[in-house]
Chain A
């Protein structure tokens, strides 16, 4: 038996397999491997072959495509879900199958060995399954993933949320040059713990250490010739946040969970539209004006 522990956004995973093939992880995961944990473990059992597929037992509830190719399918069974992940290099070939219970606390991952330089190995969390696992765990634990950069400066956590080109990475870079810790410049997972909200990075395709911060302010940036700020109402905050969360909304209860979480965030965390010219003056501007 081989096993290891992983901690992502303070969710603790125990991943184990009886396979004779070594388990490997993609590059971005290495820093998230941790010492043995005992509390609130999410158990993942890994197998080195794909199970027999009995389609009639499962109902297809969601399909995702990438560049017109099948990417993943989600099936629902009585008390379980099944994810089929398709290879993006070999047409219609299944890369992994993952089955998980309704609260996403127990997983079985089936994958076929991949060729490495010197040996064959199994890579259970191979993209995109890793992010899909965080997604389903988040959904069941008052957490959510969002297109945003996140920073912590002088113990104040801020996110800058928006689609590509709106300035979230640029903003993170400017704050970093002024001494801020960047949690991530593109994708953030945030969690509600007690009365507070926290932001985390998750494994990416590049090496990065696990980082987190409390969340105090939310910004929706856009490029502008002059810096300008506008405080948003609760409803405006909610609508903006909803546009940028990562969501596969095939079931009303899942959408309602996300909407309820966003409602609580919109209620508690001040949020602003921020037009900015990309230089260091925006850091002072925000700190002086954010408590409008």
Chain B
């Protein structure tokens, strides 16, 4: 999936810090820009972010989430797709 590859490639261009129970992502910049472009992730989103690597697949991420969190019978694949797409869109804006 292209979004996973993009997120993995862009990770070094961000600083991540856990504040309270949210993971804050901040882009490194090489010129003046919107330094207030912060993306905050809740516990589940932070878990997904930390698991993503270059060769991640939707199935792998889904299985990891199912093992970590009690998702019951809920269909969360759509939610994961949507979040990963939003994250990739945000991270693609970093230089």
Which positions in A face B, CB cutoff 8 Å?
A: 61-65, 233-235, 238-239, 242-245, 247-252, 255-256, 259-260, 263, 266
Contact = CB atoms under 8 A, between A and B. Distances in A.
Given A239-B24, A239-B38, A62 B31 contact: yes
Contact of A242 (B20, B30, B36): B36
B17 interface: yes
A169 B64 CA distance: 50
A260 B19 CA distance: 9
25 contacts: A62-B30, A63-B31, A235-B20, A235-B21, A235-B22, A235-B24, A238-B20, A238-B24, A239-B24, A239-B40, A242-B36, A243-B36, A243-B38, A244-B36, A247-B35, A248-B32, A249-B29, A250-B29, A252-B15, A256-B15, A259-B15, A259-B19, A259-B24, A263-B17, A266-B19
B19 A235 contact: yes
Given A65-B31, A235-B20, A238-B24, 6 more contacts: A62-B30, A64-B31, A233-B20, A249-B29, A250-B30, A252-B15
A242 B28 contact: no
B65 interface: no
Contacts of A248: 29, 32
A282 to B, nearest CB: 26
A64 B32 CA distance: 5
Contact of B35 (A61, A249, A260): A249
Contact of B26 (A64, A233, A242): A242
Nearest to A61: B30
Interface of B: 15, 17, 19-22, 24, 26-32, 35-36, 38, 40
Nearest to A247: B35
A254 to B, nearest CB: 9
Contacts of B32: 63-65, 248
A251 B31 contact: no
Nearest to A249: B29
B95 to A, nearest CB: 10
A242 B38 contact: yes
A244 B35 CA distance: 9
A234 B20 contact: yes
B28 A250 contact: yes
A263 B31 contact: no
A250 B95 CA distance: 11
B43 to A, nearest CB: 12
A266 B26 CA distance: 17
B30 A256 contact: no
Nearest to A243: B36
A255 B19 contact: no
Nearest to A252: B15
A14 to B, nearest CB: 31
Given A243-B36, A247-B35, A249-B35, A238 B28 contact: no
A202 B30 CA distance: 26
Nearest to B26: A255
B91 to A, nearest CB: 15
A233 B29 CA distance: 28
Nearest to A66: B32
Contacts of A64: 31-32
A51 B43 CA distance: 52
A247 B24 CA distance: 16
A249 B36 CA distance: 11
